[in-house]
A and B are shown apart, each in its own frame.
Chain A
Amino acid sequence: MPTKLTVPISESDIRALRVGDSVLLDGVIVTGRDAAHKYLVEKFIQSPSVPESEKEIYAQLKGLLAGGGIYHCGPVVKKLPSGKWAFVAAGPTTSIREEPYQADVIGYFGLRFVIGKGGMAAKTLEGCRKYGAVYLHAIGGAGTLIAECVKEVLTVYKKDEFGVPEAFWVIRVQDFPCVVTMDAHGNSLHAEVKARSQAKLAELVKS
């Protein structure tokens, strides 16, 4: 039975999750890939003060991300006749590229989750433990299905500067299916599966 999570999510609800748990996510989340993470770290986390030109977007993102999360995704989008945006294909991208930035972004903005595919490494795992967050693995290749989970595209930041795939897309999702593969207790399903499969491989090649 999947666990229903609705943004904003409390730390205790996040700490109750364990690797292997299936999750259905509701609420407003923000997409972010390489350009977005670099921007958050350089303009805000590592900067002595928020640059004047970024104060507006900073206020918006702070509000959106606290208790919420970032989805590693470069969507294919289309503009509707109404002028609003819609997601056409929205599967996850490989998360490991954000490893240098992720833990700091989780801590600073109070994220409760990041969504992506392929998992992340030790620094992020420690950040999840320390700050109370999880890594949610979306289903790779489920481009159409995940796009259908996006019920509304609320707005987009930095589209002109970063381009469509790299922008901050603010989206409302419903029943977005994910699996917890890194929990807030230092467990990583990726590490477990790698260790088990490595032992099996050793057994197979010995024979």
Chain B
Amino acid sequence: MEDLTEHFVELVRRTSSDLPADVEKVLKQAREREEPGSAAQSAFDTILENVQMSRGGSRPICQDTGTPIFYVWYPEGWSQRKLREQITHAVRIATEKAYLRPNAVEAISGKNSGDNTGVDFPTIHFEEWEHDYLKVGLMLKGGGCENVGRQYSIPSAEFQASRDMKGVRKAVLDAAFQAQGEGCAPGVLGVAIGGDRATSVIKAKEQFFRPLEDANADPELDKMEKQLYDEANQLGIGPMGFGGKTTVLGVKMAQMHRLPASFFVSVSYMCWADRRKVMSYYPADKRVVIE
């Protein structure tokens, strides 16, 4: 199997320092909607300037480079074990080069491992697929936004949400409200309906790879995504919670099969620094594309 470590290092560098074009576009549009002279507009100006400076200098957009979360789709016959070794090694190298901050600390003692590796760190999800090329998605998800994610178990007495789209809508709006600006709003909401407590959150986070302005293939979910995008923005929380017209940059939803007894709605919150990139490697001509 090919050694792709250096390409994985480049994937990390790009993800950490180069905000995706679709995210930057939506941030610029949000900036234009705010009142001239408002704190909200000033926040967007600072954010957009920072995006440019980071891209120009290969510097981390944010000092919290978060958890590196890899999703790997690999062709039949490739070794998960070797891919994991290469990815983990690449994360170490990227940390030495300061594309990443050393962010892996022991759970109880708080001792930093120094190189961004540790027990189940970084996070790598594997899936074999039918294509003959390798696709690796990387997102860097910081602690501030991770802390404002929520998982709802419906129905609940507290909540008056039923096991239907109405209930899902209430859960998502509640999550956007509870987060206020603390996840470095305006954020992206990744929503999964169904699954168990673990798979539901993984699926929710997978939604962050979707382009911000895409449509959901499921018409019912597509309708709800657009409705929730509009309604969450009506909350008026604004960038950083300063008050403003843009509170979320997008709402992306998916559903999965579940047990009859369980109905989870997982809402993962991704900060405005929505750092994600996808690398494709074509073994036939050893071509690498990162976008």
Contacts and interface: CB of A to CB of B under 8 A. Distances in A.
B208 to A, nearest CB: 16
Nearest to B185: A140
B60 A193 contact: no
B9 interface: no
A88 B46 contact: no
Contact of B62 (A91, A194, A201): A91
Interface in B250-267: none
Interface stretch (A44-52, A58-66, A73-81, A152-160): A73-81
Interface residues of B, number: 44
Chain B interface mostly? loop
Given A145-B50, A148-B53, A193-B242, A139 B43 contact: yes
A179 B16 CA distance: 26
A192 B236 CA distance: 11
Contacts of A145: 46, 49-50, 53
Interface string B227-253: 000010011111011110000000000
Nearest to A89: B63
A140 B240 contact: yes
Interface in B190-242: 231, 234-238, 240-242
B98 interface: yes
B75 interface: no
B240 A89 contact: no
A143 B241 contact: no
Interchain residue pairs A-B with the least CB separation, the first 9: A89-B63, A140-B184, A145-B50, A141-B62, A143-B63, A142-B50, A197-B235, A141-B273, A139-B46
Given A94-B144, A117-B184, A139-B47, 9 more contacts: A75-B63, A78-B98, A91-B63, A91-B64, A142-B62, A147-B59, A148-B53, A201-B177, A204-B234
